[in-house]
A and B are shown apart, each in its own frame.
Chain A
């Protein structure tokens, strides 16, 4: 069954995308680690980290595309799942610091010592074990998505209303995580990480490995998303997006279909967050800011929603643009981002990939039509293609 799932997932474009991702997961670390630093093809470590960050964003955009592009749920709170996954990873990394913190407490993270806490809060227990923390990376965003979706989809909260309450959700979480007594480091969040499963977080090798993992996880999630959307379930999903009530009348439990997709997507976002944190070195409540979640929407929209590959391209392109603009013309970045929002919604509603696809399909149509005509003229066979 699983092989069937994967085989179906491997449609032409996806094969290429997965191939590229696997290739860069091997090539970039190799160029970084094996070549001497003065070699023209050497990739500096900071570039590896920045590219790893983009891949995490791409994974987040892919997760959003799964619910928005295929299910019609415009979630303005996907940053929350991303941040929760990030916090789970951050808690693990925090526990790994051990007694190397500023206050040297072997168990309590610095900020807890600072706030005069005597023992670890219950939700920090077990986070020193890698497997448990990684389970939480999936479990916590999944659980939130489950409860949120359970309430929302069952009572048929739809469209704009759903967008607004997802935004309220991430806003409420942001306010909560800013509090010092929540036990997540308040304003400063979690930072000052030392090592991950025994490897130094700052070391070149670790960074290259994290980059490779980001690329591979992105490839795997792309396969899963492709498998979901190309299965029969995926067709129903698109049905829900385009005509929800008709699908309901056909006897499908629309709320369960949405809930499943939403939870899977939230888990992907959680993975993205978990990969993001060790590469960036910090997680703080700012990640819950509604503006961040909306930015994810623009990456997806720029690349093309409902295309799976589009959001990956969009996330990377927009973030490369962001890095450039915030470096070269810091004043201009918000103008550029705002303009991009308007431009894409007005002129590129299908995004880059969607528009290219549309263009190629049109050209193919014309060419087929021309070819058929020519053929018909030559051999007088009235056989036209589609």
Chain B
């Protein structure tokens, strides 16, 4: 109550004594030397009311605790420590007043109330700055520490403002300050709406804290505004979950899509698939090391360079595995499972021997770090790029399978090996290159995963079971099934997480898949017809 009376007094004072104050706020500043905390708070308000831009540095110094009283004459100065001495400056003009021993000055202490008052005063003062960015941040400052004293400054600034964005922000700041003031109920009602348009938890906080001092008749408006914001927030939360789900789904898609080729198309259970992903990630690491030491300027391009490198490396490894092991085991899926598991152990141990068992540091290029806001959700650039990348790979692969002659041969060999062979397709060659393609795509996935996961010899192990789940869930031999499988598992995971926790969510997903396979043993999009039993 006293606070409101005082606020009223200041406003009055500001009208009564502008001439005195506008000439020189020096008197007000010097009064700070003797003031207690509460008086200082009033004085700060008065100083701000002068609208004198020269007081800005002084107020800033005050907030940082660099305001002192010179004991000799009681003049308030800003000062900088110079060893045992202080160098004093004129509080308004910033002229140096010479050095003196510390003992000759008394520091003016600041508490949190004062800091808040200083912040809002500074916010008010800089609202008129010619710099757009300064005005914007000033409006933001007022918004965050509203005080009725600032209201008129804000309104004055608002009248002059031309920039649309700054104007909206200032209107919101005005509304927030207005709620704490003693304006008419209608104005406040409008202010509630303006604050509600701000959205987010912040607005709820402002409205909640305002609800105590507001008139009873405004309560329903307040409640509807809060309810409105909350329902909007829930929508954004759901949207955010969907986005996280899609981003997790793309990671799964990347890890699983190569498997969809080797397992789905060729019927080979490649337990070394995860290791292909790992080798892709290590290729990225090696490429980055080379670039770091030799061509540091190219660092932002490192991922683009790593992509073909990783593809080639893993494709060659895949080719060797196919020629060396798998070609003897066609038609015996359980045996390929065992043999490729052996391959995976060997690859893991090789990487461990070469690079060591610890995580390797893979850097993010500048265009992959940071984030931006989309409405009420934060989107990080690396996730966005991975989603786009996964979809690009998916459609490229789809096109390759459907449109190219290699894809045609691949599908022919899958459906009827002997007939394809009779038609003059070199089936061993197709097998080898299909496997190399699947492995190469796993390598590309490794490049992407190196950006969001630890690059360690165990990287592949972390994805192999999830990848199999995606392929089995989506339906073998169907790329669209893999896409739908990856996305639905990703989104399901993210929606389960908040309610049951990450680990339990994952367990639930696994259990659901096990149950789902009971219902549809061949996955969501099962192949139909004669090819099924083969």
Please give the residue numbers on chain A whose beta carbons come within 8 Å of chain B beta carbons, in ascending order.
74, 148, 151-152, 154-161, 163-165, 167-169, 171-172, 175-176, 178-179, 290-291, 294, 297-298, 301, 331, 333-335, 337-342, 344-346, 349
Contact = CB atoms under 8 A, between A and B. Distances in A.
Interface in B324-353: 325, 328-329, 333-335, 337-339, 341-346, 348-350, 352-353
Contact of B342 (A167, A168, A291, A341): A341
Contacts of B465: 167-168, 171, 290
A156 B521 CA distance: 7
Contact of A168 (B461, B513, B522): B513
Interface string B500-513: 00011011001101
Contacts of A169: 510, 514
A345 B341 CA distance: 11
B305 interface: no
A74 B521 contact: no
Classify the secondary structure of B's interface with A. Answer: helix
A180 B186 CA distance: 56
A345 B518 contact: no
Contact of B472 (A161, A172, A333, A337): A161
A340 B334 contact: no
A334 B348 contact: yes
B486 to A, nearest CB: 16
Contacts of B345: 334-335, 337-338, 341
B468 interface: yes
B269 A341 contact: no
B492 to A, nearest CB: 15
A179 B503 contact: yes
Given A154-B518, A167-B468, A345-B342, 19 more contacts: A74-B337, A157-B517, A160-B269, A164-B469, A178-B503, A294-B271, A294-B341, A331-B352, A334-B346, A334-B349, A334-B352, A335-B350, A337-B345, A338-B341, A339-B342, A339-B346, A341-B339, A345-B339, A346-B328
Contact of A342 (B325, B334, B352, B353): B325
A306 B325 CA distance: 24
B403 interface: no
Contact of A179 (B348, B504, B510, B513): B504
Contacts of B517: 152, 155, 157, 161, 165
A170 to B, nearest CB: 10
A314 to B, nearest CB: 13
B337 A163 contact: yes
Interface centre among B341, B344, B346, B511 (most CB of A within 10 A): B341
Contacts of B38: none
Classify the secondary structure of A's interface with B. Answer: helix
Interface centre among A161, A301, A335, A342 (most CB of B within 10 A): A342
B419 interface: no
Interface in B31-80: none
B519 interface: yes
B255 to A, nearest CB: 15
A345 B334 CA distance: 10
Contacts of A161: 472, 517, 521-522
A345 B461 CA distance: 22
17 contacts: A152-B518, A155-B518, A160-B269, A160-B337, A168-B513, A168-B514, A171-B510, A172-B507, A298-B338, A334-B352, A335-B345, A337-B342, A338-B343, A338-B346, A345-B335, A345-B342, A346-B329
Nearest to B350: A335
Contacts of A148: 514
A340 B342 contact: yes
Nearest to B263: A160
B304 to A, nearest CB: 34
A148 B469 CA distance: 17
A7 B269 CA distance: 42
Interface in B444-498: 461, 465, 468-469, 472
Given A179-B504, A338-B345, A338-B346, A349 B335 contact: yes
Nearest to A331: B353
Contact of A341 (B338, B350, B353, B511): B338
B343 to A, nearest CB: 7
B511 A172 contact: yes
A168 B469 contact: yes
Given A160-B333, A160-B337, A335-B349, A165 B342 contact: no
Nearest to B523: A161
A277 to B, nearest CB: 24
Contacts of A154: 518
Contacts of B342: 298, 337-342, 345
Contact of B334 (A163, A172, A291, A298): A163
Contacts of A301: 338
Interface centre among B345, B511, B514, B519 (most CB of A within 10 A): B345
